[in-house]
Chain A
Amino acid sequence: QSVLTQPPSVSAAPGQKVTISCSGSSSNIAKNYVSWYQQVAGTAPKLLIFGSDERPSGIPDRFSGSKSGTSATLGITGLQTGDEADYYCEAWDSSLSSVLFGGGTKLTVL
């Protein structure tokens, strides 16, 4: 059981918007940066969001991140079939001295 909690799955139609939540605690999300990763089946994870709300170069602005208190959210607009993947949140936990990943959310674009 992951310390960072994500919904197991979300779905939406092409062109629509979806949000994925990540719930943590005062020792991880509340005081540290959150990152988000996209993992297409059979491939390595890819960094989508760092610093809770910043995008690396090459990541389209359809992807956005936000954080409030002990929760973080990944938003994806203008959904495309190519966005179908597993999405993971990640944060450092200052009490555990550990990197934490959420359990992952499978996005289906209907």
Chain B
Amino acid sequence: EVQLVESGGGLVQPGGSLTLSCAASGFIVSSYEMNWVRQAPGRGLEWVSYISSSGGTIYHADSVKGRFTISRDNAKNSLYLQMNSLRAEDTAVYYCARDAFKDSLDIWGQGTMVTVSS
């Protein structure tokens, strides 16, 4: 079964760091473009980061640029999001998603909650 499972969320203080993981099964992560998308409580979807299948192209939303880093471990078939200098406005459910047909996000994980609060 094709599946994505996120982990690593939790409660962190403002200014702190957290690394999210996204384990893929049923497909090879390095064969696809991958994304992180977040959703603040009661709000809409917000794209966060993108990594190409080769890993040579990376984009981040302006709201996280310089603070978040997307990466991939091909041996572990997993995607990561390193989050530094966290702010209250980063509080959200974070989803990893596979970019497949014509730039669409066809497979999503169940999400992991990140809460930034003192």
Q: For B46, list chain A residues within 8 Å (CB).
A: 101
Do residues B104 and A47 form an inter-chain contact, with CB atoms below 8 A? yes
Do residues A98 and B61 form an inter-chain contact, with CB atoms below 8 A? yes
**Residue A35 is within 8 A (CB to CB) of chain B in the complex:** yes
Instruction: Give chain B interface residues in 29-59, CB to chain A under 8 Å.
Output: 35, 37, 44-47, 50, 59
**Residue A56 is within 8 A (CB to CB) of chain B in the complex:** yes
The closest CB in chain A to the CB of B6 belongs to: A44
Minimum distance in angstroms from A4 CB to a CB of chain B: 10
The closest CB in chain A to the CB of B95 belongs to: A44
Q: For B103, list chain A residues within 8 Å (CB).
A: 32-33, 35, 50, 91-92
Do residues B44 and A44 form an inter-chain contact, with CB atoms below 8 A? no
B90-107 vs A, CB cutoff 8 Å, 1 = contact: the mask equals: 000001010011111110
With A44-B108, A98-B61 as given contacts, are A103 and B102 in contact (CB-CB < 8 Å)?
Answer: no
**Residue B110 is within 8 A (CB to CB) of chain A in the complex:** yes
Number of interface residues of A (CB under 8 A): 28
Do residues B95 and A54 form an inter-chain contact, with CB atoms below 8 A? no
**Residue A109 is within 8 A (CB to CB) of chain B in the complex:** no
User: Which residue in A33, A45, A56, A97 is a CB contact (below 8 Å) of B108?
Assistant: A45
User: Which residue in B35, B100, B101, B106 is a CB contact (below 8 Å) of A99?
Assistant: B35
Question: Given A52-B102, A101-B37, 12 more contacts at CB 8 Å?
Answer: A33-B103, A37-B105, A45-B45, A47-B104, A47-B105, A50-B101, A88-B45, A90-B45, A90-B104, A97-B59, A98-B61, A103-B44
Q: Please, could you name 5 A-B residue pairs with CB atoms under 8 Å apart, sorted by A?
A: A37-B45, A51-B104, A90-B45, A101-B37, A102-B44
Instruction: Pick the 3 closest A-B CB pairs, nearest first.
Output: A50-B104, A99-B47, A51-B102
